[in-house]
């Protein structure tokens, strides 16, 4: 997926993105509080993940694809968009640095992610944000998702605490 606006672009990650991604997103307990993995403890951890994610770019039928969300002018990465491909549907997950929130970036990111999935022939997309993450739910609803209920004790969010947390079962038919 490659997409660009005046504010941000979505592109494949590069190893040189580790510093900005760590400093703005993956290493920030505030920015990463609603993701299912713990915030990264170092740039080295982020670099290791980027190397792992880059392997999926060359696969014809990947299970997962992870793209960077970069500031257009300076090209530093401040977030991620993740696509998970299942047999019956795909999933979309996205997050950006809190320093870039409340600018409409997440809504535009989600809508363009859905267009990307549609171009691949995907008919159904699902995602399951933390039930109390109001901003994420609002972005998904503005993008056309509907709530199909609550997934009880569904996902770990290490930055929120121990245990499993309830999530919204958000779905859209393309």
Count the domains in the chain: 1
Counting runs of H as helices and runs of E as strands, what totals does the chain give? 4, 8
Number of neighbours of residue 145 by Cβ within 10 angstroms: 23
Q: How far apart are CA 95 and CA 69, in angstroms?
A: 9
Q: What is the pLDDT of residues 79-132, one digit of tens each?
A: 999 999 999 999 999 999 999 999 999 999 999 999 999 999 999 999 999 999
Interaxial angle between packed helices 134-142 and 105-119, expressed in degrees from 0 to 180 and rounded to the nearest 10:
50
**92 torsion bin: left (phi>0), alpha (psi -120 to 50), beta (else):** beta
To 5 degrees, how large is the angle CA 135–CA 85–CA 11?
Answer: 65
pLDDT in tens, 123-163: 999 999 999 999 999 999 999 999 999 999 999 998 889 99
The CATH number for 35's domain is: 3.40.630.30
Q: Judge whether 14 lies within some domain.
A: yes
Q: Is residue 17 part of a domain?
A: yes
Check if the beta carbon of residue 139 is closer than 8 Å to that of residue 129: no
Residue 145 inside a domain? The answer is no
Domain membership of residue 168 (yes or no) is: no
């Amino acid at each position: 997926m490659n997409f660009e606006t005046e504010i941000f672009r979505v592109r494949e990650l590069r190893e040189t993105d580790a510093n900005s991604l760590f400093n703005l997103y993956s290493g920030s307990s505030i920015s990463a509080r609603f993701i299912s993995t713990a915030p990264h403890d170092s740039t080295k951890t982020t670099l290791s993940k980027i190397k792992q994610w880059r392997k999926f770019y060359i696969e014809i039928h990947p299970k997962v694809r992870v793209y960077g969300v970069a500031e257009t002018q300076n090209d530093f990465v401040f977030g991620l968009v993740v696509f998970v491909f299942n047999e019956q549907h795909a999933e979309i997950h996205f997050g950006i640095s809190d320093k870039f929130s409340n600018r409409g970036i997440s809504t535009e990111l989600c809508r363009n992610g859905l267009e990307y999935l549609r171009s691949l022939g995907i008919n159904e997309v699902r995602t399951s944000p933390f039930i109390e993450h109001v901003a994420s739910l609002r972005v998904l609803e503005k993008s056309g998702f509907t709530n199909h209920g609550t997934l009880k004790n569904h996902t770990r969010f290490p930055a929120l605490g121990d245990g499993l947390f309830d999530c919204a079962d958000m779905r859209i038919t393309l």
